[in-house]
Amino acid sequence: MSLYRELKRRNVFRVAAAYVVIGWLSLQVADVVLGFTGAPEWVGRTLIALLLLGFVPALALAWVFEVGPAGLQLDAGADASAKVADATAGERGQRLDMITLVAVVLVLGLMAWQQKLRPKPGAAPAAGVATGADAAGAAPAPAADEFAAPPGSIAVLPFANRSAAPDTAYFADGVHDDLLTQLARNGGLKVISRTSVMEYRDTTKNLREIGEELGVATILEGAVQRAGNRVRINAQLINARSDEHLWADTFDRELTPENVFEIQTEIAAAIAGALGQTLVPGASAAPVKGEAPTRNAEAYDAYLKALAVNVDSRTQTAFRARAQLFRQALAADPDFALAMGGLSKALLDSYWHGDREPALSEQAREWIERALALQPEDPRLQLHMGEYLYRGRLDYDGALAWLDKAERGLPGSAEIMSLRGFIYRRLGKMDQAIPAMQRAAELDPRSSEVLVGLVEMTAQTGDMVAAQRWDEQMQALPDLAWSPAYALAGLRMNMDGELGPAERMLASMPADEVGSVIDTYWIPYYRRDYAKAARALVLLPDELLGSQFAVHPKPLLRARMAYAQGDAATVRAEAARALALLDARIAANPADYRALLSRGFAQALLGNAQAARADAAAGLAQDGPTRDKMLRSYLRAQQLDMLAVVAESDELAAATADYLTQGYLSHGFDGLVLDPLYDRHRSHPAMRALEAKHSRKDKPAR
């Protein structure tokens, strides 16, 4: 008997067909079920692997076994009971045919149902599906089988450099950066910012995963290839969910040293225009072709390297590195306005996140004014001016006016939205600050700066539940710097008096961060572990430990510990040393409100109550604290520390009650009273009444 007839008799072909159809049906059902349950992708991959591995064993079992009147048994072969075998084989064949037919009908029905539910590209989300951050501050959850992505939303992945010479990568980066700027000019598009897409360079994630993480319906991929004096750029727009190609084009151009950047800008404008019409036909804000920022390749290369410096950690090293690269760009092209704007911002960052040296702010002002004199209508420079007025001058109304002007040219800029949110926070307008930051998070969902801003804002308005959700989104970012990672733990300590999260974070602090975080001192001090606090103080680098909110001379921190331990002699000696340091500081900058509050505390420890009160009042009367509700809150908390030393309990309780009625709080009641300074006041009836009203201990988080 031929092998073919024997395979047919044993129904091996029918089993193979039934296995394939039933396996396909299983995969279709699994796709729906796993989608609804939110199961990870490896579950589906494992099921596919098991079905593939089971195919050959299924055929082997069909060859070896048969289902007869006596049940499952070994096939006796064609010569044994041939008639019975042929009859039962026919019956088995009919049953297999029926099973296969039913499975085919079910597969077709399920596929038709899925196709009916699948939205067409560009269709609006189903009613009730949120597309933005919700009012409570949490990012919206996607539907089970569809991630929430509004029409006209796009992420432009970093362009691949396929040129033979790797040193031409700056050209691909330049095309990508210019394209993002061009697209942000189109108010009808939701364009994910550069910060959030750069992590996907050379990614192994598929487009659906990227689309879900960024909240976009479409993704643009591109590649740049330079050879001699020719450049070819391929770009393709893809539906992130279905992998369907929506648009594609190829741009071939001839390059010369004079036109390299004009070509880059021309191509970016052409792609932006095509995408605008593809994604939002008829949108009013059209991309415009601008002039090349510089015709000097060396200058542009340094400029792109400066943009690539990671400043998420907010370290002076990073700010200085970025400033140095911008200076290199300007050395090569002294009229490079965008490099001037970038240098202004780098200097401003160093000023803002460092010791507030007035010279840095003045240099930032000079560079942004020079840049705007060259290109007054460039919205990127207008944005830099808005940021300078915000951080360098604390001129919030002026800053908002410049941001409004910049937004007319860049309506899709996440940076404009986030700066507006930060400014509203400074003004104490949290009802406007949080929505502005939520919009920034939609446009820049992978930005640690935006996410940490939302963590801080929601926590400092008392909504720890929302703060926790935003923190979870931030903690999922790759290569998250330690400073933003620590933010919520520090806030829980200051707001709710919880030391555990901060202690655990500090225990895992990278070695290169040790000595840069002052909470390594505060936490053991709050624990009354003064020996450990003293050891931590030795590791902190400078005699004057500064931030934007406070200046802490090391002798003053030692005097604080001595006061808590009742060591009057050490208090006097260390407070006197601190006073000398602060006097010199204030002599150099009489308007330094941080130094004035710190000197007030030193005076309090020395028993000079009247001078202590006067210094604190003088600090709060400076221009910055009178405009800035956020800054004023931090300074008033320091004023309360001073009162805890010089005032009676009823006065301290009244001042604390007034502080807690502010719309913005740097410290909650539980965070304030962590300090041993409050120990002698705790049993006073007014302080107990405040505790009953404001303490969040053993209360559910809002």
* Overall pTM surpassing 0.85 (yes/no): no
List, as one string, the DSSP characters of 407-464: HHH-TT-HHHHHHHHHHHHHTT-HHHHHHHHHHHHHH-TT-HHHHHHHHHHHHHTT-H
Residue 406 CA from chain centroid, whole number: 23
Residue 67 backbone dihedrals phi, psi, to 5 degrees = -105, 105
Q: Count Cα neighbours of 666 within 13 Å in the Cβ-side half-sphere.
A: 17
Instruction: Label residue 240 exposed, middle or buried (CB < 10 Å: 0-12, 13-18, 19+).
Output: buried
> Bridge-partner residues for 235, per DSSP?
222, 249
Under the banding of pLDDT at 50, 70 and 90, the label for residue 251 is confident
Q: What is the pLDDT of residues 410-468, one digit of tens each?
A: 998 999 999 999 999 999 999 999 999 999 999 999 999 999 999 999 998 889 999 99
Q: What is the pLDDT of residues 154-182, one digit of tens each?
A: 999 999 888 877 666 777 887 888 888 88
- The pairing of strands 153-156 and 245-254 is unpaired
Residue 456 backbone dihedrals phi, psi, to 5 degrees = -65, -45
Q: What is the pLDDT of residues 456-499, one digit of tens each?
A: 999 988 899 999 999 999 999 988 888 899 999 999 999 999 99
Map tokens 């494992």 to a residue: 46
- Domain locations along the chain: 3-117, 153-281, 328-389, 542-702
Q: Count Cα neighbours of 272 within 13 Å in the Cβ-side half-sphere.
A: 29
> Bridge-partner residues for 237, per DSSP?
220, 247
Across the chain, which distance is largest between two alpha carbons, in Å? 116
Map tokens 């019975």 to a residue: 84
Q: What is the pLDDT of residues 28-75, one digit of tens each?
A: 666 655 544 445 555 666 777 777 777 778 767 766 666 555 545 555
Long-range CB contact pairs, 553-557, < 8 A, 24+? 553/577, 553/578, 553/581, 553/582, 553/598, 553/602, 555/581, 556/582, 556/598, 556/601, 556/602, 556/605, 557/521, 557/525
Q: Give the SS3 label for residue 173.
A: helix
Instruction: Label residue 37 exposed, middle or buried (CB < 10 Å: 0-12, 13-18, 19+).
Output: exposed
More confident residue, 678 or 142: 678
In this predicted structure, the answer to whether residue 94 has a pLDDT above a threshold of 60 is yes
Residue 51 CA from chain centroid, whole number: 40
More confident residue, 494 or 115: 494
Amino acid at 379: P
- Measured distance between the N- and C-terminal CA atoms of the chain, rounded to whole angstroms: 80
Q: Give the SS3 label for residue 474.
A: helix
Q: Give the SS3 label for residue 154.
A: strand
Instruction: Label residue 200 exposed, middle or buried (CB < 10 Å: 0-12, 13-18, 19+).
Output: buried
- Beta-carbon contacts of residue 298 (< 8 Å; ≥ 6 apart): 332
More confident residue, 293 or 586: 586
Q: What is the pLDDT of residue 572?
A: 98
Contact (CB, 8 A) for 518 and 545: yes
In the chain, % of residues over pLDDT 90: 51
Under the banding of pLDDT at 50, 70 and 90, the label for residue 213 is very high
In this predicted structure, the answer to whether residue 8 has a pLDDT above a threshold of 50 is yes
Residue 114 backbone dihedrals phi, psi, to 5 degrees = -65, -40
Q: What is the pLDDT of residue 125?
A: 32
Q: Which of 270, 346, 335, 251 is nearest to 305 (CA)?
A: 346
Crossing angle for the helix pair 414-426 and 448-460, to the nearest 10 degrees = 30
Q: What is the pLDDT of residue 308?
A: 79
Tell me which fold the domain 153-281 belongs to: Rossmann fold (3.40.50)
More confident residue, 81 or 670: 670
Residue 156 backbone dihedrals phi, psi, to 5 degrees = -100, 105
Q: Which of 575, 560, 493, 573 is nearest to 530 (CA)?
A: 560
* Residue 520: count of CB within 10 angstroms of its CB: 22
41-55, 326-340, 359-373, 626-640: which has the minimum mean pLDDT? Answer: 41-55
- Beta-carbon contacts of residue 176 (< 8 Å; ≥ 6 apart): 156, 158, 159, 194, 222
- Beta-carbon contacts of residue 127 (< 8 Å; ≥ 6 apart): none
* Residue 248: count of CB within 10 angstroms of its CB: 13
Give the mean model confidence (pLDDT) for residues 187-207. 89
